[in-house]
Structure formats: C-alpha cells, structure tokens
Structure 1
Amino acid sequence: MQFARFGGPAAPGGADPLGPPQAPARSRKRIFLAGGITAAVLVAVGGSAAYGYAGEVPRGTTVLGIELGAKSKADAASALRAGLAGKSDRLEAPLPVRLGERVVEVKPADVGLTVDVDATVAAAADSGGGPFSRLFGSREVAPVVAVDAAKADEVLRGALGKDAQAMKMPAVTFSGTTPKATYPKPGKGLDAEKSAQALREGWFGIHPVAVPLVEVHPVTTSEEVDKLVADLARPAVAGPVTVTTERGAVTIPASAIAKSLVLTADKSGKINPRVDEKKLRAALAGPLAKVEVAAKDATIALKAGKPAVVPGVDGHRLDTAALSKDLLSVLPKADGRTVAGTMTTAKPKVTEEAVAKLGVKEKVSTFTTKFPGGLSSPRSQNIVLVSKETKGAFVMPGATFSLNTHTGERSYPQGYKDAPTIVGGKLVPGAGGGVSQFVTTLFNATYYAGLEDVEHKPHSYYFSRYPAVIESTIYPPHLDFRFRNNTPYGVLIDTSYTSSTITVSIWSTKIYESVKTEWGPRRNITQPQTKYLEPGPDCIETSGLPGFSQDAWRIFRKDGKETKREKFSWTYQAEPRFICAKQPG
C-alpha cells in the first residue's frame, strides 16, 4: 500500500495530492549525487579564491628574487627592504655606462639610483590576474627604479669629458665701440631626462647601459643675434649717456658702455643683456671722481704724544648697481639718453668703536738712523718726503703693510729728486735715491716690535750707517718692503726727523718683554777691486767697501724666557772702488 506524505492514503495512480510527482528511486540517487558534486566544486572554488587572494600581494610574486606573495603591502615593503639590504653588494656595484664610444663606471649612489620600495610594492599588488592565475601562477615583478636626474646629468657630463662636442655659444662683443657678432652652432651632449630614463631602465638590465648622446642647440638663434646687434648693441654705443645727480652730472662715454655692456650667453645659450656694475665703475673712474667722495675709516693718531681715536667720515657714492639696470632702458634709444642717478652715503668700513678696541696704547719700539748732508741735500729731502707719506699709517690686525702700495709711485711728479741709487752694481742718479734709508729704519722698527717680516732685501753693498744684515733696500716695482701685523692689536706707524736723523716708532700693545739681535762673526771677506768709469755728470766715485757674509738672529723673550729666535743671513758683495777716469794704458 502507498501512503501520501504526512500518512494519508495514496492518490490513484500513485500521485501525491500535496506535492509534485516523485521520481523513481534510481533517478533520485543520481540527482543527489550530482548535487553533491556541484556543492563540492563550489566549496573548492571558494576555498581556492580565499587561498589565492590571501594578503594584498598575489601569491608567487617576487621582486629581484625576493618573495612578496600573500603579504599585506606593509609586510611586503618590510620584506623587500630586508631583501634589498642583503643585496647591497649588487645594488652598490659600479654600473657600466656607455657614452658614445666611451664606457665609464658610475656609482649608483652618485646618481641617486635607488629602488622605490613603496612604488614597487604597489606595482606588485596590481600584478595579479583572476583567481586561477593568482592560485597557480608565479610572477617576477620588475622593481620601480628612481634616479636623481640632476645628479646623474652632472656626473655623466663630467664623465663624458672631451667626447662632448660643445655648442658654439652666441655672443655680441665689442672691438672698441664696434659690435661683433658670434653666431651659435649646435653640439653633441646629453639630455638630462633621457639620461635618467636610460639609467632607470638599464640598471637591472643588460650592461653597459647605453646613455644616448643628443644634438644640443643654443637657445638664442642666429636671427636673434642679428636683431640684438641692430636693436641694442649698435645703438648702445652710438653716443654717450648723461647721468644726472644731486652733486652734478656724469657723462658715460660710448667706450665705457662698450666695456660694461655684456651680451654673452648662459649655459643654455640664451643671451640676457646686462650692464656689469664692476666694469662700469672701473670704466668711469675718472668721471665718478667729480661727484663721489670716498669715506674715511676711523683711525688712530698721536695727539699731545698720546694715541687718540680719529672719527671716520662719511662719503658720497653713486649707486652704480641701480644705474647699471636703468641704463638698459635708454641704450637702445637715439634720443633721450639721460638717466637719473642716485647718490648714496658711503659709510666707513672701520668704525670709532672698532678702533678703540684695538689696543693702540703704548710705544712698542723705535729706531733711528743717521743721514749725512743735512736737509738741503736731495737725498735727505727724499727721506723726509717718504717719512711724511708714511706717518700715521694704521695697520689692522692680520693685515699686511706694503710701502710701495701705501705711498704709490715715488718719482718726480710726487716731489722726489735725483739722488744716488745702486743700479747694475754702481751708483747712479735716480728719482727717490735715499728712500732705502727710510726703509731700513722702518724695517728695524717693525723688526724690534716683533712683527712678521714678509718681504725685505738687504743692499748689495754694506753701508756702515745701517746694522749689518738687518737692513733693507727698495726698488719698485720689483722690490718692496712688507710686514704683517701678526698681533691681535692695531699698529700705528709714527715718523719724525731732524737735520741728520730719521726715526720710526711703532705704537700698539707690547707682546714681548724684549726683542734683540745677536750677530755671528763676519766670514768669507772679499776686498774691493778698482774700476774706471766714463767721466761725466752721472759718474759717482766710491772708495770701495769689502764684502762678507754674516748671520743675525732675532731673539724674542717673554716672562724672562727666550720664546723664539729667527735667523737672517746675507752676503754682501765687495763694492768696487769706482774712479771717474779713463783706465791708465
């Protein structure tokens, strides 16, 4: 008997009145089996998807052989950094680079070659396909490489060296006041971006990395050079420019414009016209003297026999920095070539406060030499004149004093007279003869003050009015006398004279207890020879002097002890006995 579901009688023909017809028993078993297989497949697929998508980076992903698969981005970045640290030898190894026909080695650090870890991990995370490729695939992801394009360009240009073909840069120069054009030509060189790209792509590829050489062109063209000549260079020197100031007018001649107008190119080949302030000021040295007054630094002078601060004095100066810019606006014009100049106050470089702190408080040394002939002789007058020019000279700590620089030219226009000087081994008249006696006096004053000797040269012949070895001559421009103020205090030079003496004193702060000289014995003594000279007004006779060699030591004492000694040595030639007459037959 068949029963309906829930226990009711079976319907005729076996139909269940409460549900669909039931399949035969064998069919039902097949359906259950198929359903089970389908469910198993769905479960397997779901499990595979979960397995394949574990982490943010697909399984099987490597970068430079470093496993990053199935990791979060953060963990993958840490793993990549750790792995790269283990490959430092590879990453730091010099990279062969081909530049034209030359192969050079470049250190990755020098050009900023690095692996961008975060960008590489991001690329690795995006590298997977569908679930089956993530499940069964393996993939090597190329690292993302960073490079410092500016550093790379600098290093590669240096390595390229002579293999580069420099661009011929455009320019407009002046021959006198005539403009001369130089036209640009291309060269062979490097393009920074293309070089950087080649390094990025080739670091982990086939070596050497080929960096391309490209044709490089100056920015300014030949047509633009011609236009620059016509519109600026030629009109600029067609006439003068007048600069008006509150202290008067200054005329800038065409020659000064030509010397200061700069029409040369920068590294890219671009010409940016400008007026060079330093060149303009140098070219206007004469005209500027009409409106400018130099500032005077504060200094020290002796008043009533004691050092006193002399205040500095402001000066007046034309603002040539502003003028050099304003000039550009009028240089192309044929008319209206006038510029309003601005006068500025020029402040002293050395202030009263600074000078007051320099410790000029006492006479440190003094030295006197005697000269013959009285004040009426030309030689004595030269000595007095140079002493007056040097009186009051002030030398800052660390500065070097040059007598030639301080006095300038010593010749007839400055008031110097002819007096005997040694030229070519004999005495001849010359402007400034006798100045060497002042130099010897100044040298000894600085010597006994303990100041640093920079330049001096003793005479060829020995004169008894000077201390042997510790004396000096001078002959501009070849011979100078220089000393350096090697103390932390200022140095004031004072001079005085009588009818037969010249004295130089040094004022500062005394450092040494004493500075003295010890002489060694004279040696290698030679006797003078007799020589006859052509008689005439320029012939000067001498009695002759012996020659010899001698040493002298400058000895410094401080706190009762010798702290230093310096050796000076010199060999004097025997001065011949010169006779103004024809040599006897």
Structure 2
Amino acid sequence: MLALLALVGGAWAIDGAVNGSRIYDGVSVGAVDVSGMTEEEARRAVSSFYEPRVADGRALIFASEEARDTLDVESELAEQDAQAEQLSLEEARANKQVWVAESGTLGARLSVSELVSRAFAVGRDGGLAERMEAARNGVSVDVALSFDEEALEALCSSIDESAGEPRLDYGIAIEAGAVSVTEGHGGKAVDRASVARQLSEGFLGEAPGKVVIVATPDEADVRIGADEAARVADEVQAALDRGCTFSFEQTEWPLGAADLGAWVRTRVEEREEGFALVPYLDETEAASGLLGLIRDAGYTSAATVSFDVDGGEVWVSAREGSRYPHTADAAAQAQSALFGSEAAGSDTPSIAIQWGEAPSRTTFDEALEMGLIAPISSFTTEYNDSPATANRRHNIHTAADLLNNSIARADGGEWSFNDTVGEANEEAGFQAAHAIINGEYDDAIGGGICQVATTVFNAVYEAGYPVTERRNHSLYISSYPTGRDAAIAYPDLDLTWVNDGTSDVLMRSRYTDSSLTVTLYGIDPGYVVSTQTGDWETGEPFKKRTKVDESEPEGTRYVKTAGADGRNVTVHRTVRDRAGNVLHEEDFTSNYAPIDEVTVVGPNTPTREREDADKEATDKEEASVLSTGD
C-alpha cells in the first residue's frame, strides 16, 4: 500500500514538473488546439485566430424568410444608406426588412483570458479522469462573443418595430401625486438570446463578413404584467402619501405626493424569478429641486462657481469660505427612506439638510458627487446608424469632442459654436458626408455637425439661457422638436447664447453610435421655461427628378433624396424665474425650403417619367377598348 501511494505521489510530482505551467494534451479553445501551451502562448494563439474574424464580423439580418428570399438587398441597402441622414428614426424604421449588423457597432468582445483560464483548468479542477478524457477524446472550451447590451437591444427593438406592434410592458405614471398603472400589451419581439447566439456563431465562423440571419419577431408576453405594475403603483403611492419633510436652517418644507412624485422613476430589472419593476428616487433631480427650494427661501450664501480646464482635468473653484447645502446627501437619505431598506411604517421621514464648506478648488467629479454643482439641463438626439453613415457619425463625434468641456463664463459670457468647434474642414479631422446641395443630398466636408448644433441649442433652450443667434436647417427632421433645429455654416451661420447667471456653465458631451447627449453643468439658476408652438404654414411643394448613374448595375432604382415640401413654423419661448416673473421671451421662426425627391437609376433603366408616360398610354388604350365594348 505504501509502495502504491509512493508511486502515485511520484507520478503527480512528475506531472507537476512537466505540465505545471502548461495546458494538458487534448484541450482546445473552440477551433484552436492549445495542448501543451502556456497560458500566455494560448492567449496569443486564440487571439491571432479569432480576433481578425471578430473584427470582420458583418451580418445581414432579415425580418422574415420571405424577405431573405425575395428582397433585392443591394437596392434596399442603397436606398436605406442614401436616406439614413434624411429621415426621422420612425420614418427610417417603417417597413424596414433588412438590417446590417457589424461587430464593432455591436461592441462584440471575446474574453480570451477567461477562455484560456478555463482551458488551463481542464484536468486540474476535474482531476485525473478529466485529464484522461481530454487525452483520449479531446475537450473543447466553447467560444462565444459578448455584446454591448444597449447596442444589441437597440438592434432588436428596431426589428420588433418592423412587425408593427412591439411588446410594451405595463408600468406606472405619476400625475399631481396620483399614481396610476399604464397599460401594456403583448406584441412582437425577437428572441434576444437567439440573435446574440447566431451573431456570435457567425462572427466566429469561417465567413464572418457574410453572415445571414433570419430574425422574425414572434408573439411575446409582457415582462412586467398588470399585477406587478399595480403592486408597484401601490408601493409608490404609499411612499408618496407618507411624504417627506426637509429642513434647512430655520425653514422646513413638508413635501407631499405632488412634489416627490416629480422625482420618482422606475426601471425593469431581470432577476432569477423573472423581471421586476423597481421604483427609485432620481437623486440628481431631487438634489437640484431641494437646492431650488433653499434658493427661493432667500438663502443666498450658497457658493457660486467657476470652471477651468488644466491638463485635461476639469476643476471647479468656489469663493474662499463660501458654503453650500448638502442636498446630494439629503437626496440619498430620501431614497433610502422612501424606497430603500428603511422604507417602512407610516411615519413621515424628516431629513435635515446640512451646510458644507465649499472647497476652494476640486475636481469636476468630486464637485458633482458632493452636490456643489449639478446638471442644469440635458438633451439627447438620435441618428440612424448604418455603414454608409460612418463619416457622418465620425463628424458628429469630432465636433462633440471639440465642444466638450467648453465654458460659458458667468455674468454675460457668450458661447459660440463656431468659436468653439472651428471650421469643419479636413485639417480639423472632418470627413465628407451627406449635406443638402442644390436641392438634393451630396457629399460635403463636415456633414452632420448641424445635429451637434441642434443638440446644443435644445439643451440651452431648456435651461432658459438667452439665445442670440440661431438659424434653422433647410430640411426639417421630425426626430427633433418642431422648429427647434440649428444650422451651422462656418463662418456665416453660427449658434450663440449668453450665460446671464452668476456662475460659470460647463458644457459636456457624450455619444454612442446612434445618439448624442449635451449636458450643461453648474449652479442651476432656476429658470422656468414654457413653449408655445405655432401651426405649420405650407410652402412650396417639392419636385421629382430622376438621375441616371452609369456606375450602378442595370435595373437599379432607389430614392437617393426623400422629397419634402417647404413649410414654416414659429416657436415662442417664455423664460421666468421661480417666482413667476418673466425674464425674457423670444420667437424662433423656421423656414424650411422644399427638397427635391431624387431617384437614382442604373443604365438602361426606364426613368419614372418614361414609366408614367407608358402607364398613361396603357390607360388610354384600355379606356378606348372599354369604350368600344370590345
């Protein structure tokens, strides 16, 4: 027995010396044999095999087998790409039957280190039997990609919308402190897990750039049903009815359901037992609201701030010795009291807001976390994302980077888009993208920056700061608020606004492949903005034209520029202080010119005018036959 133990022990010692730092024989990661490799060698082998495939990943996703079998993909994509910058998201998604999904846009990632660690564990975690199985029959570690959840959800939601009635969860709405359930319904939805699995298998396969998937939206039940929404509505109503009392110095504010309800939000969370609707207090909104109450009560010793950028870091400065209310701490306490572990009973929670000494200089993140500064307003615009819009997306991101961390100084400082971003030329890194030229879309350096200007304009508009120069774009896009877009053409057309507050305002941008958000930060001046949007007035109708493109295949036909009639609208903005006094009012008038509908056809393809003439002749001939009774 002792001899046997000694033999086994010696075998383990030899094995440890030979294979201690190497993967056992017969082990592979997907299609890559990593037998005998160190972990570092295996990581290099797996990366060199799979990462080029992932980088080349491109899939055509069809909404049905019929679409896959009958659709003229090239013409369909040509029309989608040509109009991706012209139409609203809703218009572009209507009746869409094919999507292009690329690995980069979806944030496809391969966790090579984790895969190699699992390969290294084979025969170690499972012991001798697992090692023998690997040597005899082989053991393969499954390879799968992960995707950016938001990007994958956006793709799947777009496919859902093509079915006409996507699934809608039940939820809650709060109006004047009264909580009600919002109706939901089952509808169409694609299987997210199936789409992700097929994309992963295709991008990791032998032809990653030619993946074809059919993802038909099927009937799907709601994730949040009526009972769950009703339960949450009761929970939220009970919390709001309890109310919450805040105090600062000698002043108290007993806030009831109507006040607190404006700060309540919900989110859907996936749990082991299914999905749950979770209520919570938007602490940023609550902190800002509390600061407004303190300001309205006459406490004027709250700090004023200034911003500066040094070495890529944003710094926030306040007057030496100035103080500010710890509204961020108070908002966090309110969240716990209303919806956290402390939320119980019928007593009204009472929260005292404390003074804090404002640091003379601190980082932006620290100032935001402590509540010294807060978001004043924020606005997001979206744009269609396709391979043909890559240059436009690049221009949007480039302009957004240039205006990020720009500052409008207090007490009348003017902010200018052109002064901040500069001329959108090749020297500044801008590329050619679609712009309206002579009544149709064509390439121009810097195409897309008007979307950035529009996003800035709406953030400033909602904050209530005076806008001193703004022009509308020549084409109306319904994704933007009516009459609230902004055009830029260096140096003639600019967007300018004035900071009439007592603290500096910092502008920040963030973006994804399909959205841009601009946020203003500082001390909220508390302006209240109201809007009256006038009726549309009709203008000149659009015309139709056909262009022959000899470089296109014979029989090609697609709409390059969507037609739009000219029209006019006026938006009136009124800005008041929190006491209701009018500070300023202005009209923003937009005059949109007609845009020709331009159809591109390949050589030897009948133009629409020729087809219309042929149809008219056919109609006359049929009418003649009918009139003679033959």
Judge same fold: TM > 0.5, yes or no: no
> What TM-score, normalized by structure 2, do the two folds share?
0.35
Structure with the higher helix share, 1 or 2: 2
> Bigger radius of gyration, 1 or 2?
1
> What TM-score, normalized by structure 1, do the two folds share?
0.38
